[in-house]
């Protein structure tokens, strides 16, 4: 059946706003979020934040709605508004208060991601004019395995669970609360340093917001924040109106949950009607025993990211983008798991599969715009033990890049973090300096990208030699089936994990001794277009 033609583009309505002035204001807000991130990174203690940049910062209006985000982690940024809402509702932060939380059932994603939220007050106002927030992945928050990314069966095994609570009250640190948190982690000094960096980042963001109001006036700032959200909404409606009306379905699966061996389906149906979209995850597998469960915040985050990608031009990344989109994620499924489900891998692995199925569905509506699947896993590696000689505990966490899926007009990039992750790698020099490991192999994985008219990007080969005893956990996926190709393109090669040359499961926990070598080979991206098209 021939595809329904795209609808004619309609010009955006005139609003009476000065577009140049609005863009300058937008960049001012974004610069606040970016400066918060720079300060957080430069003052943090852990390699995970300083080197990998596993953090995100954003600015919210007085209602807790997003107005600006830094160029940070999509999986954080789309989910953080739910944390901000929970912090406001539970704690009603006043001047000088900072609320922290990581509970996945109260707006968090998984326990290592600690979110900090502060209200910003300006002179003459008794209610917040803004909120500022950041989220940072902490290399350890306790639990049954170093790195706090274990093969858990319930949330209680994954680390300390923090409901919305004031860590700073009226500008004064709650030291007993901080000591309680630090008593439950393996690396308390590093955690103290990273938490302090988060707090200082919020203070800087609040300072910059007050300076903005002092220059422009609160009424003008509020009006422009509202117009930025309205503009983002109009741009999203415009993008949706260009798609043919219809219902578009797609399904993919996770290899397993690390406890059982059965694949777990993630399904979506996207209904486009005029300038609106409805996203329905009915048919997705029920929440499971292992830690691949995701919560509603993650489903929202992935949906926001994918639909934002429909807009080719730069657009404000704020709450207005979601206004024309409704999301139905049935409770008790992989995409809206309920307590006390284990959640460590939901934020990192299931978020990637949600992205894959959303893009697969939209490829039916806009085949000329959607790429094949990227690696579809963050290849999470965590390990810990004690340093030789000093006996000081250490804990480390990283994600390893893979191949990007090819698109209709471009090949996929190799060795890159894609979709819901936007982190960097840990440089070999920093890695070997801080931890008792040696990096023996770190290179592109040739031939792992799927073939086609446009080839998928290659994954990575990364091999570590351990110099001391340690406990290791791997949470990875796409080890059974590679990322899908589109329009006749071939799938990318699945990844594999090897310990001393012998395969180990995609999700596993084991002990190593000095001299043991762990090799992780990450999946390549899917190809786009049939090979026959190359010869046409």
Q: Residue 533: inside a domain, yes or no?
A: yes
pLDDT per residue, tens digit, the chain (536 aa), is 344 444 444 444 445 578 899 999 999 999 999 999 999 999 999 999 999 999 999 999 999 999 999 887 877 877 899 999 999 999 999 999 999 999 999 989 999 999 999 999 999 999 999 999 999 999 999 999 999 999 999 999 999 999 999 999 999 999 999 999 999 999 999 999 999 999 999 999 999 999 999 999 999 999 999 999 999 999 999 999 999 999 999 999 999 999 999 999 999 999 999 999 999 999 999 999 999 999 999 999 999 999 999 998 889 999 999 999 999 999 999 999 999 999 999 999 999 999 999 999 999 999 999 999 999 999 999 999 999 989 999 999 999 999 999 999 999 999 999 999 888 888 999 999 999 999 999 999 999 999 999 999 999 999 999 999 999 999 999 999 999 999 999 999 999 999 999 999 999 999 999 999 999 999 999 999 996 544 34
CA atoms within 13 A on the CB side of 356: 31
191: nearest Cα among 165, 167, 171, 221: 167
381: nearest Cα among 509, 221, 482: 509
What domain count does the chain have? 2
Q: Residue 524: inside a domain, yes or no?
A: yes
- Residue 280 region, left (φ>0) first, then alpha (ψ -120 to 50), else beta? beta
Tokens of 208: 């910059």
Rounded Cα–Cα distance for residues 50 and 188 (Å): 17
Last residue of a domain, one of 196, 230, 264: 230
Parent domain of 507 = 371-536
Last residue of a domain, one of 174, 196, 230: 230
Q: Residue 204: inside a domain, yes or no?
A: yes
Write down the pTM of the prediction: 0.94
Q: Residue 178: inside a domain, yes or no?
A: yes
Last residue of a domain, one of 167, 201, 230: 230
375: nearest Cα among 396, 395, 399: 399
Q: Residue 283: inside a domain, yes or no?
A: no
Q: Residue 429: inside a domain, yes or no?
A: yes
- Kindly report the number of other CB atoms within 10 A of residue 188's CB atom: 16
Q: Residue 496: inside a domain, yes or no?
A: yes
378: nearest Cα among 432, 328, 421, 326: 421
Rounded Cα–Cα distance for residues 296 and 187 (Å): 30
Q: Residue 353: inside a domain, yes or no?
A: no
- Kindly report the number of other CB atoms within 10 A of residue 242's CB atom: 18
Whole-Å CA distances, 359 to 117, 310, 449, 478: 32, 10, 18, 17
């Amino acid at each position: 059946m021939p595809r329904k033609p795209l609808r004619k583009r309609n010009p955006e309505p005139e609003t009476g706003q000065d577009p140049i002035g609005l863009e300058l204001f937008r960049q001012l807000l974004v610069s606040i979020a970016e400066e918060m991130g720079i300060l957080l990174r430069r003052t943090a203690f852990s390699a995970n934040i300083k080197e990998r940049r596993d953090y995100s910062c954003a600015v919210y209006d007085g209602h807790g709605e997003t107005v600006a985000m830094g160029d940070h982690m999509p999986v954080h940024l789309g989910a953080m508004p739910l944390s901000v809402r929970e912090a406001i509702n539970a704690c009603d932060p006043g001047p000088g208060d900072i609320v922290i939380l990581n509970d996945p059932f109260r707006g968090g994603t998984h326990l290592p991601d600690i979110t900090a939220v502060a209200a910003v007050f300006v002179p003459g106002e008794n209610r917040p004019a803004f909120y500022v927030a950041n989220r940072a992945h902490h290399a350890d928050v306790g639990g049954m395995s170093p790195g706090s990314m274990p093969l858990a069966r319930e949330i209680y095994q994954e680390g300390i669970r923090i409901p919305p609570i004031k860590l700073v009250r009226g500008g004064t640190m709650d030291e007993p609360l901080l000591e309680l948190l630090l008593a439950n982690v393996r690396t308390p000094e590093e955690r103290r340093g990273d938490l302090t960096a988060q707090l200082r980042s919020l203070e800087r963001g609040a300072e910059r917001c007050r300076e903005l109001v002092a220059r422009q006036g609160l009424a003008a700032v509020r009006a422009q924040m509202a117009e930025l959200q309205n503009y983002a909404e109009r741009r999203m409606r415009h993008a949706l109106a260009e798609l043919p009306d219809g219902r578009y379905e797609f399904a993919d699966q996770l290899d397993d949950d690390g406890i059982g061996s059965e694949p777990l389906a993630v399904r979506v149906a996207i209904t486009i009607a005029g300038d609106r979209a409805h996203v329905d995850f009915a048919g997705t597998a029920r929440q499971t025993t292992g830690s691949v469960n995701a919560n509603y915040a993650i489903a929202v985050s992935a949906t926001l990211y994918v639909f934002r990608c429909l807009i080719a031009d730069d657009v404000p990344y704020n709450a207005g983008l979601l206004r024309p989109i409704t999301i139905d994620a049935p409770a008790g499924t992989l995409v809206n798991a309920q307590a006390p489900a284990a959640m460590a891998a939901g934020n990192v692995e299931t978020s990637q599969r949600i992205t894959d199925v959303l893009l697969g569905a939209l490829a039916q509506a806009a085949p000329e715009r959607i790429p094949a699947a990227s690696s579809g896993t963050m290849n999470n590696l965590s390990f810990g033990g004690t340093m030789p000689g000093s006996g000081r505990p250490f804990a480390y966490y990283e994600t390893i890049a893979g191949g990007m899926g090819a698109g209709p007009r471009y090949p996929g990039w190799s060795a890159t973090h894609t979709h819901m992750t936007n982190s960097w790698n840990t440089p070999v020099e920093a890695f070997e300096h801080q931890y008792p490991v040696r990096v023996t192999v770190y290179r592109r994985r040739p031939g792992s990208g799927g073939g086609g008219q446009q080839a998928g990007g290659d994954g990575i080969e990364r091999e570590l030699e351990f110099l001391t005893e340690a406990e290791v956990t791997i949470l990875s996926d796409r080890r059974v089936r590679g990322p899908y190709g589109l329009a006749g393109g071939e799938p990318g090669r699945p990844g594999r994990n090897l310990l001393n040359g012998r395969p180990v499961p995609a999700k596993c926990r084991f002990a190593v001794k000095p001299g043991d070598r762990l090799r992780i080979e990450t999946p390549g991206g899917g190809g786009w277009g049939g090979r026959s098209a190359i010869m046409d």
